[in-house]
Amino acid sequence: MTSTLKLEHILGELEQAEGLDGLQIAIVALRDHMKVDHMVYHWVDSAGDQYGCGTYSDEWVQRYLEQNYLRVDPVIAGCYQRFHPVDWKRLDWSSKAARAFQKEAIAYGVGNQGFSVPIRGPNGQFALFTVSHSGDDEHWVRFTELQTRNMILIAHAFNRKALDLEPDRKPDQSQALSPREVDAVTLLAMGYNRAQVAQTLAISEHTVRVYIESARFKLGAMNTTHAVARAMSRGLIVV
């Protein structure tokens, strides 16, 4: 099985997952597939409840909670202020507390490299998808150049499933978009052009146009921009 087919297979399993156990199985499989040390997805739903799945050690998770590192974690602070994916090296680690936190995180095996994708959904939902690894800068730059688009797709796949699992979430009244239509419209919302969408999804530009036109029809939108706006306002995609 090629790498692309393997990734699609795991994402298909994620789409069919039921409950947090299914998300945990999927994130371990994706971590192993991408050959990184850790992968984590954490979200706060519209009621303010927090959930997560990931591969950090239980010891580090417990330490993080006990020390309330949420207050000083530059990844949380930096991503909450951003809408686009970010490499951890671009965040502010200048404070004494942040440097001490980073040192301890590395000691617990989190890794010295990281990449996070912030996601915002309907009704105040916020999520963060993170990949971290131990390695040199050159290797990490190559990895992120090759895998950024895949990490974005994986992040949004987890978030769609997380929204499905919210117990009090009202079902969408609009006609449902297919997974590929969601992928295409999400990438357009993030600023990708059609050629980049086609490359990311490994399909032709003609097929991208078919997905977009189908989504536009389902949403009753006048044009692509209108379709993106309607999809976001209805919670069908999150960016």
Report the DSSP pairing between strands 38-44 and 50-54. antiparallel
pLDDT score, position 172:
46
* Cα 129 from Cα 55, distance rounded (Å): 12
User: Residues 208, 197: contact at Cβ < 8 Å?
Assistant: yes
Residue partners of 108: CB distance under 8 A and separation at least 6: 56, 57, 59, 60, 63
Three-state SS at 237: coil
* Stated length of the chain: 239
Give the rounded distance of the alpha carbon of 46 from its chain centre. Answer: 17
Task: Write down all domains in the chain, each with its CATH number in brackets.
Answer: 3-165 (3.30.450.80), 179-233 (1.10.10.10)
* Cα 209 from Cα 56, distance rounded (Å): 40
Single pTM value for the model? 0.71
* Cα 26 from Cα 14, distance rounded (Å): 6
Residue pLDDT tens, the chain, 239 long = 678 888 888 988 888 888 889 999 999 999 999 999 999 999 876 666 677 899 999 999 999 989 989 889 999 989 888 778 899 999 999 999 999 999 999 999 999 999 999 887 766 678 899 999 999 999 999 999 999 988 988 988 898 888 777 655 554 445 688 899 999 999 998 889 999 999 999 999 989 998 998 898 888 887 888 888 888 877 888 77
Amino acid at 219: L
Q: Which of 51, 84, 61, 58 is nearest to 161 (CA)?
A: 51
Reported in sequence order, the residue ranges of the chain that DSSP labels E, i.e. its strands, are 38-44, 50-54, 86-87, 113-120, 126-133
* Cα 27 from Cα 50, distance rounded (Å): 17
Write phi, then psi, for 128 (nearest 5 degrees). Answer: -140, 125
